[in-house]
Amino acid sequence: MTINVSHIQRFSTGDGPGIRTTVFFKGCPLRCPWCHNPETVSPEPQTLFYRQTGKTVVCGRTMTPEEISAEAEEDAEFYRAGGGGVTLSGGEPLLQYRGAAELAAILADRGIPTLIDTAGNVPWAAFEAVRGTVRQFYYDVKTADAARYARLGGDLDRIAENLRRLVAGGAEVRVRIPFIPGFNTSDEDCRRIGRLVADAGARRADLLPFHRLGGAKYEALGLTYAYRDVRPPDRAELLRAAEIYKTFLEVGIE
pLDDT in tens, 96-122: 999 999 999 999 999 999 999 999 999
Contact 98, 129 (CB under 8 A): yes
Q: How many domains does the chain have?
A: 1
Domain holding 63, by residue range, is 3-253
pLDDT above 90 for 82:
no
Secondary element (H or E) of residue 165: helix 156-168
- CATH no. for residue 146? 3.20.20.70
Q: What is the pLDDT of residues 28-73, one digit of tens each?
A: 999 999 999 999 999 999 999 999 999 999 999 999 999 999 999 9
pLDDT score, position 21: 97
**Would residue 48 be called left, alpha or beta, if left means φ above 0 and alpha means ψ between -120 and 50 degrees?**
beta
Interval 130-184: pLDDT, tens: 999 999 999 999 999 999 999 999 999 999 999 999 999 999 999 999 999 999 9
Q: DSSP readout, 109-150?
A: HTT--EEEEE---S-HHHHHHHTTT--EEEEE---S-HHHHH
In the chain, at which residue ranges do the beta strands (DSSP E only) sit? 3-12, 20-25, 46-50, 55-59, 61-63, 85-89, 114-118, 136-140, 172-179, 204-209, 250-253
pLDDT band (50, 70, 90) for residue 14:
confident
Average pLDDT, the chain: 97
**Is the peptide bond preceding residue 91 cis, with omega within 30 degrees of 0?**
yes
